[in-house]
Amino acid sequence: MWSLDSSLGFLMTRAARGMKRVLDAKLAKHNLTSTQYIVLARLWAGDGISISELCDRLSLDNPTLTGIVDRMERDGSLERRRDGDDRRVVNVYLTEKGRNLQQAVGSFAEETDDEVWEEFTVSDKKTMIDALNLIWKRMNESLD
């Protein structure tokens, strides 16, 4: 019989909320949220990508990301620029402030992950990562 206490969706959501709360507390000192952090993390890996590509890479919808980018642009950590080859495309770039944030907060997510993985073996970690990726794949295939 199904039970909320053993529901995979409920347990994953609860765990994700807990991790988000810990990361948000670390980031608050820098006036950032965990969602803004993942935008920065993707751009630290390579900026100058389009809004639609950033949406795909972060698994966010366009309206959600647009609001986040609006706030981050107002705060001065990134900027939008029209693509030189296709003026319809808007690319997102880090500003100097956005690049400098990597030194200040770049390790926060890794530290949070390390806190979680502390109780797990290397094998447990691999199994969990594989399982979560499989769940993501299955749930996205079910929408097709």
C-beta of residue 42 within 8 angstroms of C-beta of residue 58 = yes
Q: Which of 69, 67, 66, 73 is nearest to 97 (CA)?
A: 73
Q: Is the pLDDT of residue 89 over 90?
A: no
Percent of the chain with pLDDT over 90: 88
Q: Tell me the mean pLDDT in the region 67-83.
A: 95
What is the Cα–Cα distance from 54 to 78, expressed in whole angstroms? Answer: 13
C-beta of residue 30 within 8 angstroms of C-beta of residue 77 = no
pLDDT score recorded for residue 144: 61
Q: Is the pLDDT of residue 22 over 80?
A: yes
For residue range 26-57, list pLDDT tens digits in order.
999 999 999 999 999 999 999 999 999 999 99
pLDDT score recorded for residue 56: 93
0.85 exceeded by pTM: yes
pLDDT score recorded for residue 105: 95
Task: Please name each of the domains of the chain with its CATH number.
Answer: 9-141 (1.10.10.10)
